[in-house]
Amino acid sequence: MNLVAATSTPTFSFNYENMWRYNSSGALSDRADSQIESDMEKIENAIARAQHNARNSDSLKPTVDRAIASLPASRQNGARYAVNTNLIHEYAADPARLSLAYFDAGAEQRGGDLLLSAGYSSIFGALSSASELHLSCVVSRISHTGTGVTVTTNKGNFTADAASVTLPLGVLKAGKVVFSPALPSSHQNAINRLGHGTLNKIYLEFPRVAWPESPHLFGYVGDGWWEEWVNLYPVTRRPILLGFNAGALAESSESRPDAQLAELAMRVLRNMFGRSLPNPVRVTATRWKRDPFSLGSYSSWAPGSTPGDRSALVAPISPRLLLAGEACSRDHPATVHGAYSSGLISSHHILKDSL
């Protein structure tokens, strides 16, 4: 928040409660809507109870499956939607790929939710203004000795007294950047154990707003596809809807071209807002799993991983070489503030220990 204020970055106060839900017959009744909320609460309570006796290797799936199966059949689809949008979208992975014990580990962040309505560029601009930046350099090797670090890229070598490496966990898992000497086994084991899931977005820009203007969020109780939408109209004053898919569904759909993804999304949106919803004039879809510089969206607690793995990642590889980035944040993984604070911590280590 300090950075936002210091850079006068425009914000929009986003309210997750300001949500309208639909299914293929249109808007849900208040009763059906509250039923979904209370069934999600039951599932969350079942998870909290199961966490007491969880082993590190247990996944979330059996508990979630049992909790859904215990509900009357007529409510199970609503419960699956609630699990999809509250858990799978949030943690970017299916319950089978999330640790029962730790999937939600971390600290609470105080304050409400803000969207940066004009994006992050003013913050990045301010943070980078005093630095020498080399962009679009693809790193293939990081070599370090007792006296310094050399980074090999497609645009030549860069040497420095020390380095803080913020490669995404997906890239570290794939071993696409060679460390010389190799990473310590404590770091490599943590990289292997933690999960790196996928949350994808589709932005559809329309010729005009043809849906309720004021809700911040729309939910769609369907078959798993595009069940959560942010209404960007109140945020940007432009007729844009932003839809999400996560987990295995998101990963398997990355091979589809934009037009096909938009067609699937439009089926959902026309069920919600009516046949008269015009075709979008612009479509942008992310494919984070396929992106070679990301290989997934953000880290998660896979079965078998523990908070000790995040601590292992933060430990200096040497006084001159540290990892940083969202996966290194024990309290706020998978977030921008987690990534930022881990960068501060690694820089502090470097300044204190190596120079």
Ligand X SMILES: Cc1cc2nc3c(=O)[nH]c(=O)nc-3n(C[C@H](O)[C@H](O)[C@H](O)COP(=O)(O)OP(=O)(O)OC[C@H]3O[C@@H](n4cnc5c(N)ncnc54)[C@H](O)[C@@H]3O)c2cc1C
Measured between alpha carbons, how far is 173 from 193 in angstroms, rounded to an integer?
A: 9
Maximum distance among all alpha carbons in the chain? 67
Q: Which residue is nearest to ligand X (CB)?
A: 325
Give the nearest distance from C-beta 6 to ligand X in angstroms. Answer: 18
Give the nearest distance from C-beta 201 to ligand X in angstroms. Answer: 5
Q: Which is nearer to ligand X, 167 or 235 (CB)?
A: 167
Residue among 319, 321, 324 at smallest CA distance from 354: 319
Measured between alpha carbons, how far is 228 from 101 in angstroms, rounded to an integer?
A: 26
Give the nearest distance from C-beta 123 to ligand X in angstroms. Answer: 12
Amino acid type, 162: A
By CB under 6 A, name the binding residues for ligand X: 138-139, 166-168, 171, 176-177, 199, 201, 288, 293-294, 297-298, 325-326, 334-337, 339
Using an 8 Å Cβ cutoff, are 83 and 59 in contact? no
Give the nearest distance from C-beta 58 to ligand X in angstroms. Answer: 25
Using an 8 Å Cβ cutoff, are 218 and 22 in contact? yes
Q: Which is nearer to ligand X, 54 or 220 (CB)?
A: 220
Total residues belonging to the chain: 355
Q: Which is nearer to ligand X, 33 or 331 (CB)?
A: 331
Using an 8 Å Cβ cutoff, are 93 and 296 in contact? no
Q: Which is nearer to ligand X, 139 or 285 (CB)?
A: 139
Q: Which is nearer to ligand X, 33 or 90 (CB)?
A: 90
Give the nearest distance from C-beta 254 to ligand X in angstroms. Answer: 13
Alpha helices in 24-111 (DSSP H): 30-51, 61-69, 73-83, 89-91
